[in-house]
Structure 1
Amino acid sequence: MLIIFIIFSGLILYNINKMTNSLCQQKEIPEERQPKVFRTINVLITILLLSSYVEILFT
């Protein structure tokens, strides 16, 4: 189950990064701020994925 969840998480992170890139282009976010935007979104999505894994693991 862990391997399936890791693959699923990778796909989610990839799609979220694609959507974040589209957001940065659409809102014309400067190049200097884009790494901070990506880092923030990736950290928050990773926390969400880890918490959902822990919830699935202990239920």
Structure 2
Amino acid sequence: MISILSFIVFAIFVLFYVNKMTNSLCIQKEIPEERQPKVFQTINVLITILLVSSYIEILFT
């Protein structure tokens, strides 16, 4: 149970900082405002897939 909670806290931390870095990327590369939601959505989906697969790997090892 404690590993589940620690992984959820870790996942929230990772998603928060990835979004923060994505925002910096959008500002630095001057990505237009209308394309930014698609950039955030794509990166968030990919990071979520990475986190879920990492959790499944930890769960079954």
**Smaller-chain TM-score range?**
over 0.9
Q: Percent identity of the aligned residues?
A: 73
Q: What is the root-mean-square deviation of aligned Cα atoms in Å?
A: 0.2
- Long gaps (5+) in structure 1: none
Runs of 4+ in 1 over 3 A off after TM superposition: none
TM-score (norm 1): 0.99
- The number of equivalent residue pairs is 59
Instruction: Give the TM-score, by structure 2 length.
Output: 0.96
The match for 1:43 is: 45
Structure 2 gaps, min length 5: none
Higher-RCO chain (CA-CA 8 Å, sequence separation at least 6): 1
